[in-house]
Structure 1
Amino acid sequence: MVEYTGWRKSTRSSNTSNADCVECRQTWRKSTRSNNTANSDCVEARNTAAGFQVRDSKLGHDSPVFDLGAADFTSLLRATRRS
């Protein structure tokens, strides 16, 4: 099952009743290192306009979501490769 966030309206859409609007939603991507076992450490990430968000996939919607800039997300990926 693919999990989606809520719909997000384009910032260029005006608030008039007949405005041309574009909406999209983003999916969470699970780490390729997650091996689908009950005790695996799983992280999901998605990109945003401001950078990236990460969360614990085992908690799903109940997981806290951490906002990271591109440089911080890159540092996180580098740190995980060393472990």
Structure 2
Amino acid sequence: MTAPPVVVDVDAGVAEASRIMARRNLRHMPVVDAGQLVGIISRRVKRYLRSDAEIREEVVRDVFIRVLWAEPEALRCKGV
């Protein structure tokens, strides 16, 4: 364990907690609410650290192709 311990507030998002853990190379991190321990988050949250391109690729593959049967080339996304 690090000293002082690296903690994340209960109101922080999963992505924020994941970034902290990745930067500090932590496997687990205490979650606190007003200084009181309320849980532990594990390194499995790293799946939330993806680039916009990776997220877009997943949406195209899983939504447009598998669900909507749409050709991705025929779709135009504003700002992409």
* TM-score of the two chains, using structure 2 as the length reference: 0.27
Greater radius of gyration (CA): 2
**Which is richer in strand?**
1
**Which is richer in helix?**
2
* TM-score of the two chains, using structure 1 as the length reference: 0.27
